[in-house]
Structures are given as C-alpha cells and as structure tokens.
Amino acid sequence: MPELPDVEIAKRRLEKALVGATVTGAHSEDKRILHPSAPSVLSRALVGRTVQEVSRRGKWLRVLLDDGGRMFSHLGMTGWWVERGIEHPKERSERARIDVSSTEGRSRSLRYLDSRRFGRLIVAQADIDEWRELGPDPLVDGIGVSHVVAALAKTRRAVKDVIMDQSVLAGIGNILATEGLWHARIDPRSRSDALSRADVGKIARGLGMAIRRELAVRTESRNEDEWHDVFSVYGRAGAPCPRCGSAIAKVIIGGRTTTFCRSCQVRRRSLKRA
C-alpha cells in the first residue's frame, strides 16, 4: 500500500484516532519490524502517554508523544494501519496494535497489518536519521523546481532513478515516478543532467497530478475495497497509450519495472548547452 498518497491516508487515519488520546496498550512481538528495538520497548514507551501530533514526511509517519518520545512507522511494501474494535481478534498479518482511550473515554484499537513484514516501527527519543535525511515532501513542502534542477544536475543517472531518491523528493515511489513522467511526457530513461528547467517544471506538475489522482481515489471512497486505481501506464505494458495509442513499453531502471510510451514521452540524452 505504500507510496505518498497511501501514507497520507494512513496519517489522517492515525491523526483522527490518536491525537489527544491516551495510550492504554501497545504490543508487538515482531523483532524484524521493531528492529533495532526490543519488543518490550513499544509498550514501555507508549502506554500512559498522550499523543500530541501525527505527521508524515515522504513514506514515513511520526507519532509525537507528550513526553517528547516518538514512534516512527514505515509501511514497507505491504504495511497498513487499520482501526478495529478493541475485541477484534488478531488476524494473520497483524504485526502490532495500539489501544487508546480518548478524553470522552472512547476506546479505539489500531492494528498494524503487514504481510511481507518489510515495514518498520521505531521508538526513539529524537528524530531518527531516516526521517531527518528526507528531501522535501511534495505535499508538505511542495516541489521546488530549483531544488530538483540542482539535484538532477549533479548526476547522469536516469531521471526516474533520481526522482525516486528519497533525499531528493520524499515519497515518490515506482508508481508515482512512472505515472508522473508519463504526465510530463518525459522518457524515464532520460539522463538527469540533460533536462531543461522547463522539463523539470513539467515533471513537478506531472508528479503533482499523479499524487492528486491517487489521493482522490482514496479519499472519495469510504472503504478500501472500493479503491480501484486507474493507472495510465503503470502495470500496462503492451496496452495502448491512453494519449497516443502506441504500445506501452517496459524497461528496467534501477532494478524496478518501468513503463512508458516511446512515442509521446521524449528522451533527453545529451547534455544541454548553456
């Protein structure tokens, strides 16, 4: 479930359930997800504390507690937070739970589900490196064209590879990068240092479009079963390009499957002249 729009939905859900509430129970036995903390650390850090704030940067979530402690959550590939009844039985993919009581005394139970267990739950007293080292978040900070131009100019890697670098832009994953570049009409294999400022402007708008579209799908339908993603090119190799009808091509960039349209996405290859 994890890319910026999914994590944003998770953030809103946690915010609604947790802010102002007091933690009555916290539990996880999954050493892999909690690493490097020991399982006991979760309840010791959370129980009795009141939640002050939930925030998101890129694909990371941060829950701030009233004593300055904090819990970071990364959803990995298949992580997801859901709210369940306090008595709801543990299901197979449940890796952690946090129970809270609101000021009106209402009990809520949040469950962290993660079948593949690539996600993380980290308890710390200060911001962790993974959080501090994130680049600007497209929703929180906006996409600064100058910043992206500078980042792209530093390397000759494929542009898609660079915009997925979390220290350049936080939250862009394989889907958003693929879709955003299609909107921008830029070939994902383009050499990053060959792009003009105008190209970067298009990419910024393309990514914004992809993010808004995904967010809308998740906001407008109440339950998750109704989410049906409509991608233009992601996962659609061989299908006709929705814009020009040519067959969607598939290549591997940075180890990730990448789809694009050879006829309407232009490839920048040589260094532009000043």
**Contacting residues toward DNA, per CB under 7 A:** 1-3, 6, 32, 58-59, 74, 76-78, 92-93, 115-118, 130, 155-158, 161, 164, 166, 173-175, 252, 254-257
Give the pair of three-digit tokens for residue 41.
């650390």
Q: Which residues of 154-185 are buried (b: 16+ CB within 10 A; e: fewer)?
A: eeeebbbbbbbebebbbbbbbbbbbbbbbbbb
DSSP annotation string for 185-223:
TB-TTSBGGG--HHHHHHHHHHHHHHHHHHHHHHHHSSS
Candidate list 157, 243, 250, 256, residue with the active-site label: 256
For residue 7, the minimal CB distance to DNA (Å) is: 9
CA distance linking residue 68 with residue 126, whole number of Å: 8
Name the H helices within the chain.
Answer: 4-18, 31-34, 40-46, 129-132, 145-153, 159-163, 174-184, 197-220
Q: Is 59 a catalytic residue?
A: yes
d(CA 206, CA 132): 26
Q: Which long-range contacts (CB under 8 A, 24 or more apart) does 241-249 make?
A: 243/182
CB of 4 to DNA, least distance (A): 8
Smallest distance from DNA to CB 89, Å: 16
* Contact predicate 112/97, CB 8 Å: yes
141 by DSSP, 3-state: which? coil
Please report how close the Cβ of residue 94 comes to DNA at its closest, in angstroms: 11
Nearest-approach distance from CB 214 to DNA, in angstroms: 9
Catalytic residue flag (residue 202): no
130 in catalytic set: no
Kindly tell me which of 55 and 166 has the beta carbon lying closer to DNA. 166
List CB contacts of 255: < 8 A, sequence separation 6 or more. Answer: none
In the set 11, 49, 57, 59, the catalytic residue is 59
Strand partners, 91: none
Q: Find how far residue 40's CA is from the centre of its chain.
A: 27
Is 3 among the catalytic positions? yes
114 and 78 Cβ atoms separated by less than 8 Å: yes
Quote the CA–CA distance of 243 and 93 in Å, as a whole number.
40
Q: How far is the CB of 252 from DNA (least distance, A)?
A: 7
Q: Which candidate in 3, 94, 179, 214 is catalytic?
A: 3
**Catalytic (active-site) positions:** 2-3, 59, 256
